[in-house]
Structure 1
Amino acid sequence: MCDVNVFMLKNGVEEKILENVDLIEEVADGMHLVNIFGEERTLKARMVQYNNSEKRMVFQPI
C-alpha cells in the first residue's frame, strides 16, 4: 500500500491531519484529501515535502 500520513507544518511544528490518505486533489482553495476510510479534509495549504519511504506528506498553510 502507498497510503500516506498527512501533516500540517505550523510555526515549525508538525501536526498530524489525516492518516492513511489515498487520494489528494488540488482544488481552487487548496488540497482535498480522502483516506481509505472515506474521511475527507480540505486544506488551504501547499505541499512542502513528500517522503515515500516514511509514507508521509507535509503541507504548509497558504
Structure 2
Amino acid sequence: MSQTISVEGMTCEHCEQTVEEALEDVAGVTAANADREAEVAKIEGTAESGALVDAVEDAGYDASA
C-alpha cells in the first residue's frame, strides 16, 4: 500500500534523509521517500497514517496525513 503525507520544514537533503529514516523506523514501512520541494513524503507499506505523522513530528517537522 502506498501513502503520501505532507511534511513542512525540510530545507535540505539532510532534512529529507532525517524524515526518511524516521518513517522507515515505523513498523510496517517498507520504503520512504521525502521530497522537500514538493513538501511530501511517499511511504510504502502497511503503517497507519497517524503513526507516520507522529514519527515525522517526533523528528522535528510538521506533518499531516
TM-score (norm 1): 0.31
More strand as a share of residues: 1
More helix as a share of residues: 2
Report the structure number with the largest CA radius of gyration.
1
* Greater RCO structure (CA 8 Å; 6+ sep): 2
